Chains A and B, each alone.
Chain A
Amino acid sequence: MRYRPILLFLLILLCFTTALGQEPTDETEGPPDTVVVDSSLLPAPVTNLQARDTEDDNGHSVTLTWDVSTDDGSGRDDVYMYMIYRSMSPEGPFDSVGVAMKGATEHVNSSSKDRAQPDFMPDHTDYYYQVGAVTVGGLITRSDVAGPVQSYGQFFNMGRIPVFVFVVVFCALVVFFVASARKGADLYVRPLAGIEAVDDAIGRATEMGRPILYVLGLGTAEMVATIASFTILGRVAKRVAEYQTKLIVPCYESIVMAVAQEVVKSAYADAGRPDDYDEDSVFFVTSLQFAYVAAVNGIMLRELPATNVYMGKFFAESLLLAETGSIAGSIQIAGTDEIAQIPFFIVACDYTLIGEELYAASAYLGREPILLGSLKAQDLAKAAVVIIALAGLIATTFGWPGFAEALHVEN
C-alpha cells in the first residue's frame, strides 16, 4: 500500500504523456481522452468519393473525384483544404499522400515510376483512398473509404487522337507533295520579301566591300528555330562564297558554333571555293545574354557590316542588336518564332520573317522542288486550320458543341 502514491503518480504521468503524443483531432480515429471536441465543429465530409486509374498515362497514377463538403463554400464555410489519404488495406493505416485546395473536386495521385524512390506506387496493386476535409482550426473529417483501385498504363494516349490524325494527314501531304515535286510538278509558293532581299543584301555587301554579319540567336542547337537558322546560314554562306564577301558569325553557344562551322565550311565547298573558308569567321563569344549583346554590338560598330541577318531564337536582346545595326547603317533582315520579339524586329529591321516564314525560308532560298513540296503542304495545312477554325466558330455560335468536343485534346 505504501507504493500506491507512486503508482498513482505514474498513472497520471502516463495519461499526460499519452495526451501530448496524440495527432490532431480526427473523427475516424476517435478523440483523445483529454481533448473534448464538440462534434458540431467538425466539417461535413466529402461525399461520392470515386477512385479510378488515370487515363492515357504510363501507370503509377490514380485519379480521385468527389463532391465537396457542404461546409466548403456554403454552410459554415470553414473548410480550407482537403487531405488525401492512401492505404493498401480498407482498414488502414492511411498515409497522407497529397492535398487539394478548397473547392477542388479532383486530385491526381501520381507517384514516381522509379522503384528506388520512396513514393513509388506499383501498378496492378489494390489501393484504398480517403479524403479529409480540413478546417481553418485544424479539425479533420474523413470521408468513406473508396476502393479498391489499381493503377495501370495504357498503350496509346486516346486523348491525343485529334493530334495524331492531324500529324498523319500532314505527313501524308508532305510526302505527296515531295513525291509530286520529284516527278517534276510545277509548284507555286508564295513569295517572301525578306528572303528575296537576301541576294540583294549580299550583292550590296560585295559592292561596298563590307562584311555580312549573321546572328544565330540565343537558341540552343536542339531548337527548331536554330536548326532552321542553320539551313538559312548554309544558303547565305554559299552566296557569300560565290560573291567572295566576308562573313562573320558570332555564336552564343558552343554546340551551335560547332554546327555553324561545319555548315559554312560545307557551303564554301559546295560553291567550289573551299580554300576561301576562313575558320575564324564562325566563332564563340559567350553564353551570357548581355555580354553577347555587348560583343556583337561592338562588332557592328567596328566592322560596319553592310548586312545584318538575325535568324533564330531571340529574347530581350533583339531590339538592342537591331537598333545598333540600324545606327550602323546596315540593311537588316530578321526572322524569329519568338512572338514577343517580332514587333521589335519589325520596327528596327528592313525585312522581317514572321513566325513560320523562318521555317519556310530555308526551302524558299534553295528553290529546290523537294523542299518546296513540303512548303506547299505547310500552306495547305494552314488553309485547313483556317477552315476548321471557321467551322468551329459557326458550330459553337449555333450551339453545336460536338464539333469542338471532337477536336478537344486531353493532356
Chain B
Amino acid sequence: MRREIPLAITIFVGFLLIFSVFFPPVEDLGENFSLFFDIIAVFAFFLGGGNLVRIHGKKLLKRKPDWAFSIVTLVGFFLMLAAGLFKIGNPGDISSNVTAEGSLFAIMYDNIFKPLGATMYALLAFFVASASYRAFRAKNREATILLSAAFVILLGSTPLGALLTSWMPDSLSILEIPNLAVWILSSPNLAGQRAIIIGIGLGVVSMSLRLILGVERSYLGDEGA
C-alpha cells in the first residue's frame, strides 16, 4: 500500500490535469493543484529548517571537520529567525511589516545578505572569461567554427565591428559584422535552439506519461518497471 496509494494519486491527478488542458469545464484544476502544492510547501519549510539545525548541530557536537562553519550557519539561522519572528528593532508593533526600515531583519538583509549575494553573482563575470578561454580554443573543426561564430558576435556587439565593415556597399550589407552577428543569432542559433526546445517538449510528455502510467516509479523510492 505504501507504493500503490501514491501511484493511484499520481495516475488520477495526472489524467485530470491532462483533461484540464482540453476540457474547459475543468481548466481551473491546474491552478487549484498548484495552490495545494504551495500549501504543502509551507509545511516543508519546517522540514528544511529542522534538517539544517540537525545536520549542523550534530557536526558541532561531534567536532567533525570544519565544525566552525556550522557555528556561523546556526548563529545566522537563529539570529535571522529571531529577528523576523519577534520583529526586533521594528519601528511599529508586532503587526508591522517584517522588512520595515530600521528593523534588525532589514538591516541584516540589506547589509549582509544582499552584498554577499551580489559578490557571488559578480564572480560569474570571471568564470565566463575562464570558461570562454577553454571553450574557444581551436582544437578541432567544430571548436574552430564555434570560435569563429563567437568572434563575429563579440565583434558585432562593439562599435569597432561596425567601423571595420562600414565601407561595404549596400548590396553586401549582410556581410557587415553587426548584420552577420544578428544573422548568426537569428538563423542558425535560433534553429538549433528550436530543435532542442521541440526535443524537450517531447521528453517532458514522454517522462510525464511514464510517471502517469506508473512505468517510472523511482521518484517514489521504487526502482519501477
* Mutual binders A and B: yes
Interface status of A80 (Cβ within 8 A of chain B): no
A68-112: contact bitstring with B at CB < 8 Å (1 yes, 0 no)? 000000000000000000000000000000000000000000000
- Which A residues, 360 to 381, have Cβ-Cβ distances below 8 Å to chain B? 360, 362-363, 366, 368-371, 374-375, 377-378, 381
Inter-chain CB contacts under 8 Å: number: 214
Of A28-36, A38-46, A204-212, A284-292, the one contacting chain B is A284-292
**A113, CB-defined interface residue at 8 Å:** yes
B37's closest neighbor in chain A, by CB?
A222
Give the distance to chain A from B218, nearest Cβ to Cβ, in Å.
4
B131 & A378 in contact (Cβ 8 Å cutoff): no
Find out whether the CB atom of B219 lies under 8 angstroms from the CB atom of A171: no
Chain A: interface secondary structure? helix
- B222 contacts A by Cβ under 8 Å: yes
A174 at the interface (CB under 8 A from B): yes
A348 touches B202 (CB 8 A): no
In the complex formed, the residue of A with least CB distance to B132 is: A347
Contact B51 A368 (CB under 8 A): no
Whether B116 pairs with A371 at a CB distance below 8 angstroms is no
CB interface residues, A 222-247, toward B, < 8 Å: 222, 224, 227-228, 230-231, 234-235, 238
Cβ of B211 within 8 Å of any chain A Cβ, yes or no, is yes
Q: Does A294 contact B (CB under 8 A)?
A: yes
| Contact across chains for A254 and B196 when beta carbons are under 8 A apart | no
The reply on A15 being an interface residue by CB < 8 A is no
Whole-angstrom distance between the Cβ of A203 and the nearest chain B Cβ? 21
B 89-131 binary contact with A (CB < 8 Å = 1; else 0): 0000000000000000000000001001100110110011011
How far apart sit A251 and B200, CA to CA, in the bound complex (Å)? 24
A257 touches B51 (CB 8 A): yes
Residues in A with CB closer than 8 Å to B220 are 262
Q: A231-B216, A382-B199 are in contact. Are A359 and B207 (CB under 8 A)?
A: yes
- Chain B residues with CB below 8 A from A59, complex form: 24
Nearest Cβ in chain B — how far from A407, in angstroms?
13
- Which residues 185-225 in B have Cβ within 8 Å of A in the complex? 193, 196-200, 202-211, 213, 215-216, 218-225
CA–CA, A323 and B130, complex, Å = 8
Docked-complex contact A362 and B216, CB < 8 angstroms: yes
Pair A58/B225 contact, Cβ less than 8 Å: no
Chain B, residues 54-87, CB within 8 Å of chain A (1/0): the string is 0100100000011001000000000000000000
Given A174-B213, A178-B215, A291-B116, A58 contacting B24 (CB threshold 8 A): yes
Query: Which residues of B from 108 to 160 have beta carbons under 8 Å from A?
Result: 113, 116-117, 120-121, 123-124, 127-128, 130-132, 134-135
Contact of A290 among B47, B58, B121, B135 (CB under 8 A): B121
Contacts A155-B23, A164-B22, A339-B193 given; does A360 touch B127 at CB 8 Å: no
**Contacts A154-B24, A263-B218, A291-B117 given: A255-B44 contact, CB under 8 Å?**
yes
Known: A153-B25, A160-B22, A371-B225. A358 touches B120 (CB 8 A): no
CB–CB B210/A374 < 8 A: yes
Q: Are the CB atoms of B200 and A355 closer together than 8 Å? A: yes
A side interface size, CB within 8 A: 89
Residues of B within 8 A of A371 (CB): 210, 215-216, 224-225
Which B residue sits closest to A222, measured CB to CB? Answer: B37
Flag if B22 contacts A224 (CB, 8 Å). Answer: no
Which residue of chain A has its CB nearest to the CB of B117? A290
CA of A337 to CA of B198, assembled, Å:
11
B221 near A262: Cβ-Cβ < 8 Å: yes
Say whether B219 contacts A339, CB under 8 Å: no
State which of A170, A263, A319 has its C-beta within 8 Å of the C-beta of B209. A170
Which chain A residue shows the least CB distance to B21?
Answer: A160
Contacts of B40 in A (CB 8 A): 255
Write the chain B residue with the least CB distance to A288. B117
Q: What's the least CB distance linking B138 to chain A, in Å?
A: 14
**Chain A residues within an 8 Å CB radius of B222:** 266
Asked if A356 is an interface residue, CB under 8 A from chain B, the answer is yes
In chain A between 149 and 198, which residues have their CB closer than 8 angstroms to a CB of chain B?
A: 153-157, 160, 163-164, 167, 170-171, 174-175, 178
- B180 proximal to A (CB < 8 A): no
* Given A178-B215, A323-B131, A347-B131, CB of A156 within 8 Å of CB of B23: yes
The residue on B at minimum CB distance from A264 is: B221
Flag if B216 contacts A224 (CB, 8 Å).
no
Pairwise interchain contact A294-B206, C-beta atoms closer than 8 A: no
Residues of B close to A322: CB separation below 8 A: 131
- With A155-B25, A160-B22, A234-B223 given, is the CB distance from A355 to B44 under 8 Å? no
List 6 contacting pairs A-B, 8 Å CB cutoff, sorted by A.
A154-B24, A155-B25, A170-B209, A319-B124, A356-B200, A374-B210
Footprint of A on B, CB under 8 Å?
Answer: 18, 21-25, 27-28, 34, 37, 40-41, 44-49, 51-52, 55, 58, 65-66, 69, 113, 116-117, 120-121, 123-124, 127-128, 130-132, 134-135, 193, 196-200, 202-211, 213, 215-216, 218-225
Other than the given A164-B22, A385-B202, 4 more pairs (CB < 8 A) read A257-B48, A294-B120, A322-B131, A346-B135
